[in-house]
Structure 1
Amino acid sequence: MTSPDPTPRPQSLMLSFFGIHVLGQEIALSSGCVIDVFGRIGVTEEAVRSTLTRMVNRGLLERHRQGRKMYFALTKRAAAVLQDGRDRIWSTGAVNRDWDGQWTLVGFSLPEAWRRERHDLRSRLTWGGFGPLQSGLWIAPGVVDVTALLEDLSLAAHLRVFRGTVLEPTEVAQVVESAFDTKAIAADYHAFLDRWSEPDAGGPDPLGGQLLLHTDWLELVRRDPHLPAEHLPADWPAIRAEERFHALAQRCAAAARAEAQRVLDAIPAR
Structure 2
Amino acid sequence: MSSVLDDMDSRPGSTTSLLRTVVGLYLRDAGGWMSAKDIVTLMEALGTSGTVARTALGRLRKKDVVLQEARDGVPGFTLTDGAAGMLARGDRRIYNPRSMSAQDPWCLISFSIPETEREKRHQLRRRLHWIGCGTVAAGLWICPDSLRGEVEEILADLGLRDLTTIFVTEAPLVGGTLQDAASKWWDLEAVATLHRDFIDEHSAAVPLQGAAAVEPDSGAFATYVQCIDRWRIIPYLDPGLPAAFLPADWPGAEGTRLFNRIVAAYAEPSAEFVRSTLGESAVVTVS
Q: TM-score range by the shorter chain?
A: 0.7 to 0.9
1:1-270 → structure 2 map (5 Å cutoff):
8-23=13-28, 26-91=31-96, 93-94=97-98, 96-98=99-101, 100-112=103-115, 114-143=117-146, 144-145=148-149, 146-166=151-171, 168=173, 170=175, 172-199=178-205, 205-264=219-278
Residues in 2 aligned to 1:192 and 1:167: alpha-carbon distance in whole angstroms: 31
Residues in 1 aligned to 2:102 and 2:39: alpha-carbon distance in whole angstroms: 40
Q: Which moved more, 1:100-109 or 1:79-88?
A: 100-109
Corresponding residue SS for 1:150: helix
Residues in 2 aligned to 1:166 and 1:229: alpha-carbon distance in whole angstroms: 13
Residues in 2 aligned to 1:85 and 1:169: alpha-carbon distance in whole angstroms: 32
Q: How far does residue 121 in structure 1 lie from its aligned partner after superposition?
A: 1.0
Residues in 2 aligned to 1:256 and 1:185: alpha-carbon distance in whole angstroms: 28
TM-aligned CA distance change 1:180 to 1:167, over 3 Å = closer
TM-score, normalised to structure 1's length? Answer: 0.83
Residues in 1 aligned to 2:21 and 2:144: alpha-carbon distance in whole angstroms: 26
Residues in 2 aligned to 1:162 and 1:24: alpha-carbon distance in whole angstroms: 39
Q: How far does residue 19 in structure 1 lie from its aligned partner after superposition?
A: 2.2
Q: Which moved more, 1:67-76 or 1:176-185?
A: 67-76
* Cα-to-partner distance string for 1:177-209 (whole Å, 9 max, x where unaligned): 2201222211111111111131379x9722122
Q: Which moved more, 1:70-79 or 1:20-29?
A: 20-29
Alignment length (residue pairs)? 260
Percentage identity across paired residues of the two chains: 25
* Cα-to-partner distance string for 1:114-149 (whole Å, 9 max, x where unaligned): 443232111110122211111211111223122213
Contact 1:105 1:161 in 2 (8 A): yes
Q: Which is bigger in relative contact order (C-alpha 8 A, separation at least 6)?
A: 1
TM-aligned CA distance change 1:259 to 1:25, over 3 Å = closer
Contact 1:127 1:222 in 2 (8 A): yes
Residues in 1 aligned to 2:134 and 2:92: alpha-carbon distance in whole angstroms: 21
Residues in 1 aligned to 2:142 and 2:27: alpha-carbon distance in whole angstroms: 34
Q: CA RMSD in A?
A: 2.7
* Cα-to-partner distance string for 1:194-228 (whole Å, 9 max, x where unaligned): 11131379x97221221111111112222212222
TM-aligned CA distance change 1:200 to 1:168, over 3 Å = closer
* Cα-to-partner distance string for 1:72-131 (whole Å, 9 max, x where unaligned): 12233212111111111223x25x143534211112223336443232111110122211
Structure 2: any 5+ residue segments left out of the alignment? 1-10, 208-216
Q: Which moved more, 1:135-144 or 1:168-177?
A: 168-177
Which has a greater percent of helix? Answer: 2
Contact 1:185 1:224 in 2 (8 A): yes
TM-score, normalised to structure 2's length? Answer: 0.79
List structure 1 segments (4+ residues) > 4 angstroms apart after TM superposition. 167-171, 265-268
Residues in 2 aligned to 1:195 and 1:81: alpha-carbon distance in whole angstroms: 27
Residues in 1 aligned to 2:23 and 2:111: alpha-carbon distance in whole angstroms: 35
Q: How far does residue 154 in structure 1 lie from its aligned partner after superposition?
A: 1.7
Residues in 2 aligned to 1:168 and 1:115: alpha-carbon distance in whole angstroms: 31
Contact 2:110 2:165 in 1 (8 A): yes
